[in-house]
Chain A
Amino acid sequence: MRITKALHYGAKKKPDYVRKQSYRFSRRALLVGGAQVGLFGVLGWRLQQLQIREASEYTLLSDENRMMMQLVAPARGSIRDRTGAVLAEDKENLRLLVLPAFCKSLPATLDALSRIVPVSKGTRDRVMRAAKRQSGYYPVLVAEGLTWRQFALLNVLSPQIPGMRTDRSAYRKYYHPGPMAHVVGYVGMAGKSEVDLDPVMRLPGFRAGRAGVEKTFDEQLRGTPGTRKFEVDARGRVVRELGATPSVRGKDLVLSLDHHLQTVAQERLKEHRVASIVVLDVVTGGILALASTPTFDPNEVVFKVDPMAWTKIARAQDQPLQNRAIRGQYPPGSTFKVVTALAGLHAGVIDTRETMSCPGVYALGRARFRCWKAHGGGIDVHEALKQSCDVYFYETAKRMGIDHLAAVARHLGLGRTYDCGLPGQKQGIIPDVAWKRAKLMEPWYGGETVIAGIGQGFVSSTPLQLAVMSARVATGRAVLPKLVLSPDDPAPEWPLLQLDPRHLEIVRNGMIGVVNESRGTARRSALEIPNVLMAGKTGTSQVVNARNEHKLSPYERETHALFIAYAPADKPRYAAACVVEHGGGGSSAAAPIVKDVMTEALLRDAARSPAFASSGAGAVPGPIAIVGDGG
């Protein structure tokens, strides 16, 4: 043994130990190997037992007694408006599927099916391809949106057509799709992160709210899934149901909107490329109409999802998916003079006795600020509001300073979002010294205070905020917008604003003058209803400045047209705000829209009738909400 000589490193004195150890390792390794073969033999014996001796027994178990557990998607709660009209509800979607593994021959099955449901050449190719690509136990969709007749016929014939299955899933149907799209929103398949949070989302046919109220109140609308346990035979057909826990339908939602008023508003907005309007019930804060144009049809997004159609909507001109009423941020322009006037009166820098003269231009240091026309002398606060004199408010703003103006603006509800169930609200900007330092790291300049006094410069707000501001001025209370009606809610008692009621009265009179007195800027938009006056304020906000002048197209250079209003002037019930993007003057573009929508609101007087009481109330089960029984 020459090898053993080589082994003598480190153990030269006792070579026999090393040799012994080597032999012992070989012996034991073979023993271990033998044991491994033996234990593998046990495995082989076990497999033989299961797969050969007891195979028929297990085959029987596998074929005839297969238990399946299925989650059942719950029906989504429906959404109604205050009159009880359905805005969104689940509709049944009857579908036809095939399980290729259970077909004797897939083409034969499809031929048989085409006698009942038309199967086009394209569908046929798609099904054949899918069957080839994936396991035969994955169902392939043949047709959906079947009629009841087809569905019943298919179910009767199912024993003769192997591999065929029908099922009932649901899809979401939206009514008044154009006007309601922005508020109600739409549903879609759950995203990956949501699926990880809750595996129920993986259920076919389960949809999550993607936008609007559908998104905000998703959890409430969604409901709880149920389960079904049943036996299926070797052909995949249900033999019998073993038990089920029913799914629980999601809760219904009642909105404060009036679909009729909303439709009228939408129709009226359509004349313009981009415009939006908000109508509030000033007593309850309920949003009666909130429309934005351009709009889209959510039904195109949710049923038979077509990515091309979706992309087309998402990328269309002027972005129809954007809800301008809560996401459009505009310089409020002269509508902001209501705030400046109140703030000036509150600060004591102006009063009713003082008059100023407007030469058409205002000087601050070396800078010159122009008024839209030379109003001449004798301009007091009433005339300044009525005729929208810029010079008067330049001076008012300069006297009180930006911080006081900003504080009153915020007190009137500007510069914030509201927790009313509309997702994606923009905040707008109410600037002050601290804001500018934090945001731009620059000091505040006096000229910026002056232009903020007429709602230009850094100031921006959304139509919803302007409507809330108008409602607060009209009522003298800190009204907040609400979108969802609930029978449990008591009629809200909004806290009084911390402003002198006499000051509010002065401003309200100015706003009445704007619409109803001679030389008022919105004289042509006075209501035609006898004995009912509307109060309002026009605004025409400038878009162009020295920096962007050359980059903009003629359309983009045009001013935004704004109008805020409330009515009836003596006993306010409705407040509104309308913005027409690049619409020209507030008195010519925005005020007429508000006049028509306000007339409609006053004539229908939806706020005064209890919710659900009018159209189709008998058919509507559920809570009766009585909201606001008179202002």
Chain B
Amino acid sequence: MKMLFAQAPAQKLDLAKKLLLLNWPFLALITAIVLVGIAALYSVAGGTFEPWAGRQVIRYCVGLALLFAIAFSDIRWWLKGAYPLFFCALVLMALVPLIGVESGGARRWIGVGEMSFQPSEMMKIALVLAMARYYQWLPPEKIWRPDALIPPLLMIGLPAILALVQPDLGTAALFAIIGAGMMFLAGVSWFYFGGAIVAVVVALPHAWEKLHDYQKERVLTFIDPERDPLGSGYHILQSKIAIGSGGLTGKGFMHGTQAQLNFLPEKHTDFIFTMFSEEMGFIGAMVLLALYLLALAFILFMALRCRSMFARLVAGGIGLTLFAYVFINVAMVTGLVPVVGVPLPLVSYGGTSMLTMMIGFGFVLNAHVNRRVMFRPAEVGGLW
């Protein structure tokens, strides 16, 4: 392996070497999680590949192609393209209220002919790249300065506000978590984080006033689900019953009564973890969580082995995204946090979240392949 890096670090690697450098065990891990998801979708549909499991396979294959394309591309392109990509995503998000398609009371989608996509999904990747690009540029000695905080806060704040306008509370929270986490990884002082927590506590009552009625309703029923067992608390209650009745070993594949008897809402998308742990029990749920934790550990170690700040933060940021998705989703279905409509990555049915995660992993692997690459100041460019 040492020989592979005999060249100067800035030199480009050819494809054969990139193939050798790719983290294949990580790819196998991702595939294992996807397979669990496909089995779950097969069960939810009552033992058929129609209408979900089959399509999920196709989406995984498309995602895999994108993953490889990104993993083997030149990391310098992405360093250069990070800001333009971010602005593209920002403009598209700003356009959503104007030209977007409304579905379920919220405008989140933009249609392009037959296809439709969510600019906020694109933003999740673009935000990670842009933040990484910023801290790659920022000289380490300046990181403590308050004015160095302004660009990253803008990068987080603008998309978060646009997401709140849609209105999509879950995505706004996700942007905040990813952004804050990346700032922490980049080395921003503890004091700022302390200050931010104080500010949030002060601002919370104000934010409450701004929430939409349905969002307030979700928070309130979260605090007391029995408040309205047939209304909005129904989802959480039924979900808890389903998970709880799974017990240690579960009811068996394709035998989850709650899911199969249609007690569960959105059982193939946001609530798929519920169905999975009803049928597979505590043991199955733990195995799935362990798989995710293993994937997170892989990403963390990949980030640690990178030399450039850009590569570290890209890997670290995607890791945070994966973690935030999994944690919020599982906490949501087990009744720990309000229902915010976050899918379980790689498992829930849905093309957009699957593609977002696969593209994200493509970037992690890209960082890993280019782990020894360093950037000259000329390659990084200025602040912009």
Contacts and interface: CB of A to CB of B under 8 A. Distances in A.
A133 B304 CA distance: 49
Given A43-B289, A43-B327, A29 B300 contact: yes
A29 B282 CA distance: 29
Interface size class of B (residues with CB under 8 A): 35 or more
A46 B257 CA distance: 22
B246 A51 contact: yes
Nearest to B10: A9
A29 B367 CA distance: 16
A33 B297 contact: yes
A25 B187 contact: yes
Contact of A9 (B181, B242, B316, B375): B375
B141 A57 contact: no
Contacts of B374: 6-7, 9
Contacts of B323: 36, 39
B185 A28 contact: yes
Given A44-B289, A47-B243, A32 B320 contact: yes
A8 to B, nearest CB: 9
Interface of B: 9, 43, 46-48, 139-141, 143, 181, 184-187, 240-248, 254-255, 257-258, 260-261, 263, 277, 281-282, 285-286, 289, 292-293, 296-297, 300, 303-304, 307, 309, 312, 316, 320, 323, 327, 330-331, 334-336, 374-377, 380
Interface stretch (A15-23, A200-208, A375-383): A15-23
17 contacts: A10-B376, A10-B380, A14-B141, A29-B185, A32-B184, A39-B327, A46-B334, A51-B285, A54-B244, A55-B247, A58-B241, A61-B245, A62-B245, A134-B46, A134-B48, A135-B43, A137-B257
A113 B244 CA distance: 36
Contacts of A155: none
Q: Is the interface of B mostly helix, strand, loop or mixed?
A: helix
A62 B286 contact: no
B307 A6 contact: yes
Q: Is the interface of A mostly helix, strand, loop or mixed?
A: helix
Contacts of A26: 304
B247 A51 contact: yes
A59 interface: yes
B185 A25 contact: yes
Given A36-B296, A40-B289, A51 B243 contact: yes
Contacts of A30: 300
Given A9-B375, A33-B296, A58-B245, A137 B261 contact: yes
A47 B330 CA distance: 9
Contacts of A32: 181, 184-185, 300, 316, 320
Interface string A45-67: 01110111011011101110011
Contacts of B254: 135-136
Contacts of B380: 10
A438 interface: no
Contact of A62 (B48, B187, B242, B277): B242
Residue among A51, A55, A63 with most chain B CB within 10 A: A51
A5 B237 CA distance: 58
A101 interface: yes
Contacts of A532: none
Contacts of B139: 11, 17
Contacts of A6: 9, 307, 374
Contacts of A135: 43, 46-47, 254-255, 260
A29 B316 contact: yes
A91 interface: no
A136 B254 CA distance: 8
B197 to A, nearest CB: 15
Contacts of B46: 134-135, 137-138
Closest 6 CB pairs of A and B: A58-B244, A62-B245, A135-B46, A21-B140, A51-B282, A137-B260
B249 to A, nearest CB: 10
Nearest to B45: A135
Nearest to A58: B244
Given A6-B9, A7-B374, A137-B261, A58 B327 contact: no
A57 B244 contact: yes
Given A51-B244, A59-B245, 12 more contacts: A11-B140, A14-B140, A28-B185, A43-B331, A46-B334, A46-B336, A52-B282, A62-B258, A66-B258, A134-B48, A135-B43, A135-B260
B375 to A, nearest CB: 7
Contact of A52 (B181, B248, B258, B293): B248
Contact of B140 (A17, A133, A134): A17
B347 to A, nearest CB: 15
Contacts of B312: 25, 29
